[in-house]
């Protein structure tokens, strides 16, 4: 395992994406609120989403110096998006949120984890 992720820039970009996503989950903004409603994610748990996203950003950032933590965080994000896709499928929400947002982010997380922490 490399001392620092190589390449480094995808890890930084994914961490920034997580920060932006966390900020948007604070409200949440309308399209995220609609997505949560569409998959019937209970409102009592909405508060966790920004916490999870900020934690992911922190884990990826710390993973620059602690590669094991970066690998763990990347793997956790992969699991998160697999579960999100499962929620969309269960809710029969086969629109943009599934095919662009959740699936796109799953592919990005797989690529960053694989190419920056494993290969």
Report, in angstroms and rounded to the nearest whole number, the Rg of the chain calculated over CA atoms.
14
Q: What is the pLDDT of residues 31-58, one digit of tens each?
A: 999 999 999 999 999 999 999 999 999 9
Nearest Cα to Cα of residue 113 among 11, 9, 3? 11
DSSP state of 94: -
Domain ranges of the chain: 9-118
When pLDDT is cut at 50, 70 and 90, the band that residue 2 belongs to is low
Q: What is the pLDDT of residues 56-113, one digit of tens each?
A: 999 999 999 998 999 999 999 999 999 999 999 999 999 888 888 999 999 999 999 9
pTM (whole model) above 0.75: yes
């Amino acid at each position: 395992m490399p001392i620092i992720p190589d390449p480094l820039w995808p890890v930084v970009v994914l961490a920034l994406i997580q920060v932006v996503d966390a900020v948007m989950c604070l409200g949440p903004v309308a399209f995220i609120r609609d997505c949560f409603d569409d998959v019937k994610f209970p409102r009592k748990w909405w508060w966790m989403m920004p916490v999870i996203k900020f934690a992911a950003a922190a884990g990826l950032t710390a993973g620059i110096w602690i590669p094991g933590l970066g690998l763990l965080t990347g793997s956790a994000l992969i699991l998160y998006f697999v579960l999100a896709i499962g929620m969309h499928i269960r809710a029969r929400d086969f629109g943009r949120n599934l095919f662009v947002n959740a699936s796109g982010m799953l592919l990005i997380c797989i690529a960053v984890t694989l190419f920056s922490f494993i290969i």
